[in-house]
Chain A
């Protein structure tokens, strides 16, 4: 018997989900599990440090940079929508705005860490709060950097003129990751700056 003979006479209507989207959702599920463990550790250790400083003493709420990161979800959505419509120029503009907002967020984290380390003398080994704070916020920052790297590669392709509307689906998959990074920040922000403080 050969495989051809298994083909039935009538064609079958056959619709399956896109590989990129499914793969990205799986990756997001795995990343969510990793973040869950760090969030659980953070919550478990709130108030358990044997020495200072406490979150209240050293943390200030990064409202401006949070607004930057969260609004980048909107700009990346507008970018993908522009690309679907075939407008590469509008895409490039919104995409660049997304990168700028993400970079602004990273600048915010960098200045916060610089202040904590050099002015407050507060490091990852200071106490339990330091350990959980730097690892959870750092894990998120690492994901922002990975996202920014991906976004920048697409930006480079856009500037070189090799990005067209047919890449909209792939770009959309990358945007899913960026939305995830933003959504995780909502959790991290709540845990670190609202509950933990």
Chain B
């Protein structure tokens, strides 16, 4: 194996002045650099959103606490939700897709590199707009004011009457602008996957990551657009005197809920399908086996994509829909458990009988499997309308969706960070620090979110500023808050590991995991043009074929 035979000259000299390097990064249209920009941008916002979460939890650590004022508390949970969904997980997902998809399908860049850069900067400025509200929201009136209407901004809280000043406008504009960026990136990912695959890579031979990102891009196109439309309506209501969500003039507050959740539920799958994609790459490599049931995996993903478009109103059981609507949304929600369960069994079957290597990426992948299962089970509980009537808007719901977003999505993303860090940086991360990160974060996660279910079951509503002592919620809230500090410590270890390894880590070589997809065939970090010769593939594991010419995959696929 002539792994080291390609010695690409370093594409950037260290001696060049900082301004030149900055200029290169700002004007870049290279998918790898844009991917890194997305990810770094998201990590900065992860810290910001994490600080907001910590403030929320400190406020709730004991009854009658007044760490922050009620007004600040409302702003914190609004900004935390909006930041984490739109400016942390979405950019992380897009960053990884940007970086990995062209490399894994044997292309030199995305289909539309300039659209790619444009989309990134839209997303970036969208996030800045949201936070500019702190300075500029009240304009000439004086001090600023962050949005405080909750991340789903139900009417009539967003009307001029209840939301004076401009904080809601900054929220709307931030989501509009970053929404256009998301749609641009989704169009780009879809076109790249359909049109840029290297010779021989038919749809059935694509890495699962490409397939799953294809479905994710389709969902972004169909789900973020309704949000954009709803935001335009909100702007019309607030600025042109429209009546879309104005119940005084016959408008409907419920239709905002429908429009928001038509976006909001598929959005969950926009975030979790790329997480599935990371797991589907990590699990086979660290089990030393080919993915079990590739065609079923693809079919299950496409099925999830379709079904996820028809489950949105399970967020609205308590609104008072008709019995028929409730029944439909209960059953469509239950139906989504089928393809999701298939996936879990596929990953387990891939591990079954494999020679499992417990490296950091695999640890996160295994934790993902357990936690995603539990998140799915509480999802089924909440998906049944009578149970939902009891627990909707309680901390049980908050625990459920954080189990999905942190326990499943964030764990998969951490796994992906460790798995592809050697490719992106050319350096090996510290396995010891990686394990510390895993265990500390795991403990923190379970302290916070396992115990958060309980006050929910005991009737603690979400978004309350404080609570009376003696309701049986006190100890649970204390434990939940203590977990936050473990999670914060875990993230600090993670960031330290990234920085330390980037500057001091050992060289990783082009293929440290003995993996099978095309990104590992080029150098680490890859040259600007990715591949000197566009590869030709004959199976789903082109590097296996190359390393084992006596027993290649294409004989069996």
Interface on A for B, CB 8 Å cutoff? 1-8, 11-12, 14, 16-19, 22-23, 26-27, 29-38, 41, 44-45, 48-51, 123-125, 127-128, 131-132, 135, 139
* Range of interface residues on B (Cβ < 8 Å): 35 or more
B371 interface hit (Cβ, 8 Å): no
**Stretch of B251-259, B385-393, B396-404 that contacts chain A:** B251-259
Chain B proximity of A179: nearest CB distance (Å):
18
Q: Quick check: A33 and B222 within 8 Å, CB to CB?
A: yes
Please report the C-alpha to C-alpha distance between residue A125 and residue B533 in the assembled complex, in whole angstroms.
61
Q: Quick check: B244 and A41 within 8 Å, CB to CB?
A: yes
Please report the C-alpha to C-alpha distance between residue A16 and residue B198 in the assembled complex, in whole angstroms.
10
> Which chain B residues numbered 204 to 239 have a C-beta less than 8 Å away from chain A?
217, 221-226, 228-230, 232-233, 236-237
> Which chain B residues numbered 1 to 22 have a C-beta less than 8 Å away from chain A?
1-3, 5-6
> Which chain B residues numbered 156 to 205 have a C-beta less than 8 Å away from chain A?
183, 186-188, 190-191, 194-197, 199-200
Q: Quick check: A22 and B191 within 8 Å, CB to CB?
A: yes
Q: Which residues of A contact B359 (CB under 8 A)?
A: none
Q: Which residues of B contact A51 (CB under 8 A)?
A: 249
Nearest-neighbor residue (CB-CB) of A44 within chain B: B255
Q: Quick check: B542 and A6 within 8 Å, CB to CB?
A: yes
Provided the pairs A12-B199, A18-B195, A44-B252 are in contact, do residues A131 and B3 lie with their beta carbons within 8 angstroms?
Answer: no
Q: Quick check: B229 and A23 within 8 Å, CB to CB?
A: no
Please report the C-alpha to C-alpha distance between residue A29 and residue B190 in the assembled complex, in whole angstroms.
12
Nearest-neighbor residue (CB-CB) of A29 within chain B: B221
B535 interface hit (Cβ, 8 Å): yes
Q: Which residues of A contact B534 (CB under 8 A)?
A: 3
Q: Quick check: A3 and B521 within 8 Å, CB to CB?
A: yes
6 A–B contact pairs at CB < 8 A? A6-B543, A26-B191, A30-B183, A36-B229, A37-B259, A45-B250
Q: Quick check: A128 and B233 within 8 Å, CB to CB?
A: no
Q: Quick check: B228 and A34 within 8 Å, CB to CB?
A: yes
Q: Quick check: B190 and A3 within 8 Å, CB to CB?
A: no
B446 interface hit (Cβ, 8 Å): no
Please report the C-alpha to C-alpha distance between residue A128 and residue B222 in the assembled complex, in whole angstroms.
26
B111 interface hit (Cβ, 8 Å): yes
B243 interface hit (Cβ, 8 Å): yes
Q: Quick check: A36 and B532 within 8 Å, CB to CB?
A: no
Q: Quick check: B243 and A125 within 8 Å, CB to CB?
A: yes
Q: Quick check: A23 and B187 within 8 Å, CB to CB?
A: yes
Instruction: Give B515-548 as 1s and 0s: 1 = Cβ < 8 Å from A's Cβ atoms.
Output: 0000001100000000111111110001101110
Nearest-neighbor residue (CB-CB) of B182 within chain A: A30
Contact of A7 (CB < 8 Å), options: B217, B223, B533: B533
Q: Quick check: A124 and B249 within 8 Å, CB to CB?
A: no
Q: Which residues of B contact A6 (CB under 8 A)?
A: 521, 535-537, 542-543, 545-546
Q: Which residues of B contact A31 (CB under 8 A)?
A: 225
Please report the C-alpha to C-alpha distance between residue A29 and residue B224 in the assembled complex, in whole angstroms.
11
B241 interface hit (Cβ, 8 Å): yes
